[in-house]
Amino acid sequence: MTVTATPVGQSDPMPPQAAPSAWRRWFARLVPAAAAALSGLLLYVSFPPRTLWWLALPAFAVFGLLLRGRSWKAGFGLGYLFGLGFLLPLLVWTGVEVGPGPWIALAAIEALFVALAGAGVAAVSKLPGWPVWAAALWTAGEAARARVPFSGFPWGKIAFGQADGVFLPLAALGGTPVLGFAVVLCGFGLYEVARVSLEARRTGTVRRVAAAAGALSVAVPLVAAVAARPLVSGTAEDGTATVAVIQGNVPRLGLDFNSQRRAVLDYHARETERLAAAVDAGRAERPDIVLWPENSSDIDPFTNPDARAVIDRAARAIGAPVSVGAVVAKDGKLLNEQVLWDPVKGPVDTYDKRQIQPFGEYLPLRSLVGAINDEWTSMVRQDFSRGTEPGVFTMAGTEVGLVTCYEAAFDRAVRDTVTEGAQLISVPSNNATFGRSEMTYQQLAMSRVRAVEHSRTVTVPVTSGVSAIIMPDGTVSRKTGMFVADSLVQEVPLRSSLTPATRLGVLPEIGLVLAAAGGLGWAVGAGVRGRARR
């Protein structure tokens, strides 16, 4: 056996334990980071078109596990990774035609709000009843994301993934903030129950306050959802109306869906006339109301006599008022407009879209964006202008609220139509620019949540699919395929009563934001007192 001695004055350059210790440190950092991204991905999988709504609960349970007891800085970093894991796949449709740059930039910016929520959750995670404060902080993050920057981007609110879930009736109680809060609370509560149970098994001691807080965090949302079920009703209060939803399809996918002059208009007129022929032949019920999608007239019917003649002919053939989506130039402004077209009088009313899409319908920071990539500025050559008033059309005696496409993601834009008297809601949309992506299914789920939130039938006429008719209980009674010409005709209930969510408006959200602020203030104060004692 040979023994090698270390010379006096020299040290071993790499002690045997150094490499394993360094590896453990890296491993301790990488595992939580990977788990945060994967739990965000799990949250994405819970969203439509999948019906795996319940996966949101383990996603937030893992998120709670990762954040509890950490510093706010660690919470910020892990929250950002959770946000990227969720939002990158959820919003991939935004890059279908414009490439990965805008998609990645949008997800990266929106994930900052999740990161801030993560920092807050970490800060409150040692408070008694921490799942309540943590869920309120998540809701506060969603509230901020729905308002800034550029009027906000609420896409991906937790509520919009719950159209098939047991918590859905809570939308009628307190809107999307209460529905989302309940889901997040239940997820954090599941982790707290598991944590306290494992601790009790290890130590033989049950921390009763923590156990009660965890159990209540799981039980209360579930009990509240069951208790809210009577708020969900499809009973006709003001009679019924027979609606026809027209999907004319488009000549091609992509940003140039309307590049062939009048093609989209001709497609929708042709489908309406086909339905009229079926009605005359007794193969379809005669509609009281006909609803066309956003951008269904790809040229301005007020300045193009040929377009006006096409719409006039279709309206006369079906013998019912038609809501037509058009791009209209008026007084130097470009407007995304719904036009109420009477079969005898022609255009009699309009609604101008109020919540227009940044980087789609107008370009914020145009000079800066142009400096980065001048091709992006050419995609939005002229900015659309915003409307100022809620849209409610009186169609054959029925009050129809109008929520154009992107507006369905905004609580106020939908609620305003109901408080203005809408007996049913129409969400005319155009998703031709997003191909066969998940976007149309995500938007359909939003409309289902809105139906329950305000207890109204919701119709979704879309240029290229999926168009649908949704009952006030959130069930889809009829729908089309994608990129096909089709029409849906159905007698639907009309309702005028207001749910608690409609009456309360923004108040539940304000209450949850204040609760988040209170919990955060408590955590900061506790931290200051703890440092002072040391």
In this structure, the strands spanning 476-479 and 468-470 are: antiparallel
Active-site residue list? 294, 353, 405
Of the candidates 408, 412, 420, 406, the one whose C-alpha atom is nearest the C-alpha of residue 510 is: 412
Q: Kindly report the CA angle at 171 between 522 and 517, in degrees rounded to 5?
A: 15
The dihedral over CA atoms of 129, 132, 135, 140, expressed in degrees to the nearest 10, equals -120
Contact 179, 170 (CB under 8 A): yes
Angle between helices 170-203 and 56-67 (to 10 degrees): 50
Contact 236, 242 (CB under 8 A): no
Contacts of 262 (CB under 8 A, 6+ apart): 298, 299, 306, 307, 310
Total residues found in the chain within this entry = 534
Residue matched to tokens 């788990």: 35
Contact 74, 115 (CB under 8 A): no
Contact 393, 338 (CB under 8 A): yes
Q: Kindly report the CA angle at 428 between 430 and 312, in degrees rounded to 5?
A: 100
Contact 242, 475 (CB under 8 A): no
| CA–CA gap between residue 211 and residue 206 (Å, rounded) | 7
Give the DSSP H/E element, type plus range, for residue 477.
Answer: strand 476-479
Contacts of 266 (CB under 8 A, 6+ apart): 310
Q: How far is CA 526 from CA 68, 76, 134, 209, in A?
A: 16, 20, 16, 18
What DSSP state is assigned to residue 357? P
Residue 432 identity (one-letter amino acid)? A
Residue matched to tokens 């109901």: 418
How many beta carbons lie within 10 A of that of residue 72, not counting itself? 22
Contact 487, 246 (CB under 8 A): yes
